[in-house]
Amino acid sequence: MGARALLGMIGAMILCALCVACGNESTTSPTGSTTSLAGTDANSDGVRDDIESYIDTTYPVPANLDTNKALRQYAKAAQSSIIDASDAGKSVTHSTERFRALECLMSRRPTDFHPLFVELRARILDTLPRSEAYLNADSHAATVNIPLFPADQWAGACA
């Protein structure tokens, strides 16, 4: 097996492990989000306002443009997963979108993507109903084979 194939397999295993990791490493408690499943998205960009504020404050543009965009890509896919959790077809689509967003984040922040991902996901899943919806969406995609990009193509996953 070549080095490129091995790197791709290792990346795929890391990505799969991240998608099922607990995410209990968050040290801060999110605030400002409403308790409704969807939360508030005043500008209708698909990212909850409290999540958007966290990303913009923690990874301000232009200095962190790539990271900001990658985190927004994941947040949007996760939000869609939560909202459409009862629809099996949409759940598979959104799960694929989340994989692409994680591949994008790993291409942008290869050495420290994990803590960024864990913190963002903890903030997104800040209520029991949101966490349950996310898990419900994942259950629809559990039996579907979602192809992963090789590591050298992760940057192409960025929206």
Q: Give domain status of residue 38, yes or no.
A: no
pTM, entire model: 0.80
Cβ atoms 124, 130 nearer than 8 A: yes
Q: By percentage, how much of the chain surpasses pLDDT 90?
A: 75
pLDDT tens digits for 3-19? Answer: 444 444 444 445 444 44
Give the integer Cα–Cα distance in Å for 141 and 137: 7
Residue 25 has pLDDT above 60, yes or no: no
Contact 32, 53 (CB under 8 A): yes
Kindly state whether residue 61 falls inside one of the protein's structural domains. Answer: yes
pLDDT digit string, tens, across residues 94-111: 999 999 999 999 999 999
Q: Which one is predicted more confidently, 2 or 125? A: 125
Number of residues that make up the chain: 159
51-90 pLDDT, tens digit each: 999 999 999 999 999 999 999 999 999 999 999 999 999 9
pLDDT at 28 > cutoff 80: no
Q: Which residues contact 93 (CB under 8 A, 6 or more apart)?
A: none
The answer to whether 99 and 148 are in contact (CB under 8 A) is yes
- Classify residue 14: in a domain, yes or no: no
Number of domains in the chain: 1
Note whether residue 25 is domain-resident: no
Report the pLDDT value the prediction gives residue 34, as an integer from 0 to 100: 65
Q: Which amino acid is at 68?
A: N
Residue-number span of the structural domain to which 84 is assigned: 54-159
Residue 142 within any structural domain of the chain: yes
Position 22 pLDDT exceeds 70: no
> 126 lies in a domain?
yes
Number of Cβ within 10 Å of residue 7's Cβ equals 13
